[in-house]
Amino acid sequence: MFKNPINLVFDQLTKQLNEPSWLQTKRQQALKNFQTLGLPTRKSELWKYTDVKRLERLEDVTDIAEGDEHFVFTINSELPKDTGMLNITEVDENSWIDLTFDKKDDKERVFVELNTVMLNSGFELTIPANSKLKLHIQYQQVTADWENIRTVIHVGESAQLDLTESYDYDCRINHVSIINAQNNSRLKLQSHKLLAKTAALIHYTKINCGENVAIEQCTSNNNAYLSHSIQDVDFKGEHSSFKTASINVVHNSCHIAENVQTNHVVGNCKSEVIKRSLATDKGQVALNAKAVVSVGADGSDVAQSLKNILLSDDAKIYSRPELEINTDDVIAAHGSTIGELDEMSLTYLRSRGIPKEQAKFMLIESFLQDANIFKAEDFLDRIEL
């Protein structure tokens, strides 16, 4: 996708497709938008520390799912009868959600346009009111090119969703996910991005919160040549809460960028962002946590805690908490630290007979535990530390 001119790739793709004309129109409009905006540069705030040219340097995909039937995503759970599930290219034109951004944010989120242009898989899932659903979705690499996936989940009033998402180890995925959480719904979201050092994952998420919604989210990011995520969370109803925690661990020359923006459009909502990151070798982590509290959104409660550890001289971590408060009655706290493993703690553990490597592991494990908000006992099992 990034090695050939986009319009050539687009022509090839659209010729093969048998889909409604309105979707073709959407693709063409998105292509125009993409060509106007261009790829993000270092001047784009959310790409400031991410070299987008890494996308041109990606190695070819070698790990492609084999067999007669393989899909970009598989849902490893049985869906109840009344749950609505549609292939994304089969949705009604009226239910298609156009993601529009402020002009200044357009270029930051230009991969959303590219996702529409090249869309090849996805679904729209509607969870009825008052129901409970536990889902595990695996996103897979089934072609040698990029998989462009769009997922839309509507969580009905007072419904409960427990969603776990994971991605193929050596993937090239551009994923746009939209979650609409209606009033009184409860969401538990887990995402495992445990990727190969050659993988690339670009992920945009939009979460809309109605009234009295509670969302807890825990993400594990491990490696990838480039893993970049942007998450916009809009509070549209009062008394809602959104708590997100992420663990980011990078080795070699891997790069993880995580951006989350919570928009307190209405008052009396609570957002909490916890990030714990470790970088070693020449690994890089870039973090942005921004909370925007609009005029009149009184009673908002905002917390951001970004803690980072560098395990080598060449590793880099950029960590930026940001508050934009436009009203008076707000509780807000933010903090960011970057340091090394505490030598005194390491010495203390060793002085009791614990070997150095084991002592380091214990300190790293305890550091990352802050972000293990679901208290999963196996949360570090699959991460390369």
Partner 1 sequence: MNKEKKMLKINNIHAQVGDNKILKGLNLEIKPGEVHAIMGPNGAGKSTLGNVLAGMDKVEVTEGSVDFLGKDLLDLEIEERAAEGIFLAFQYPVEIPGVNNMYFLRAALNAQRKYRGEPEINSSVFLKLVREKIKMMNMRDDLLRRPVNEGFSGGEKKRNEIFQMSILEPKLAILDETDSGLDIDALKIVADGVNQLRNQDRSFIVITHYQRLLDYIVPDFVHVLADGKIVRSGDKSLAIELEETGYGWLEDGLNK
Q: How far is the CB of 384 from partner 1 (least distance, A)?
A: 20
Is residue 385 a contact residue for partner 1 (CB under 8 A)? no
Stretch touching partner 1 by CB under 8 A, among 167-175, 185-193, 240-248, 355-363: 355-363
Q: How far is the CB of 378 from partner 1 (least distance, A)?
A: 16
Is residue 335 a contact residue for partner 1 (CB under 8 A)? no
Q: How far is the CB of 352 from partner 1 (least distance, A)?
A: 4
Stretch touching partner 1 by CB under 8 A, among 24-32, 154-162, 201-209, 367-375: 367-375
d(CA 247, CA 326): 30
Is residue 21 a contact residue for partner 1 (CB under 8 A)? no
Whether the Cβ atoms of residue 40 and residue 109 lie closer than 8 Å to each other = no
Stretch touching partner 1 by CB under 8 A, among 87-95, 109-117, 185-193, 366-374: 366-374
Q: For the chain, where are the E strands, in sequence order?
A: 73-75, 84-87, 121-127, 132-139, 147-155, 160-167, 172-181, 186-194, 200-209, 214-222, 226-235, 241-250, 255-264, 270-279, 284-293, 300-310, 316-325, 330-339
Nearer to partner 1, 135 or 371 (CB): 371
Largest CA distance in the chain: 71
Q: Sign of the CA dihedral 43, 44, 49, 52?
A: negative
- Which residues in 204-263 contact partner 1 (CB under 8 A)? none
Cα–Cα distances (Å) from 302 to 200, 235, 257, in that order, read: 31, 12, 21
Stretch touching partner 1 by CB under 8 A, among 16-24, 40-48, 78-86, 354-362: 354-362
Nearer to partner 1, 169 or 361 (CB): 361
Q: How far is the CB of 347 from partner 1 (least distance, A)?
A: 6
Is residue 375 a contact residue for partner 1 (CB under 8 A)? no
Residue 325's beta-bridge partner residues? 293
Stretch touching partner 1 by CB under 8 A, among 63-71, 83-91, 110-118, 341-349: 341-349
Nearest C-alpha neighbor of 61 from the set 140, 128, 175, 144: 144
Q: How far is the CB of 344 from partner 1 (least distance, A)?
A: 5
Is residue 341 a contact residue for partner 1 (CB under 8 A)? no
Q: How far is the CB of 368 from partner 1 (least distance, A)?
A: 9
The phi-psi region of residue 223 (left if phi > 0; otherwise alpha if psi is between -120 and 50; otherwise beta) is left
Cα–Cα distances (Å) from 251 to 81, 255, 321, 340, in that order, read: 44, 8, 23, 15
Which two structure tokens, joined as six digits, stand for 62? 């070698």
Q: Residues 6 or more apart from 169 whose CB is under 8 A from it? A: 63, 194, 195, 196, 199
CA angle 253, 339, 230 (to 5 degrees): 55
Stretch touching partner 1 by CB under 8 A, among 85-93, 163-171, 207-215, 348-356: 348-356
Kind of pairing between the strands at 241-250 and 270-279: parallel
Q: How far is the CB of 361 from partner 1 (least distance, A)?
A: 10
- Which residues in 46-105 contact partner 1 (CB under 8 A)? none
Nearer to partner 1, 131 or 345 (CB): 345
Nearer to partner 1, 8 or 344 (CB): 344
Q: Which residues bind partner 1 (CB under 8 A)?
A: 343-345, 347-356, 358-359, 362-363, 365-367, 369-370
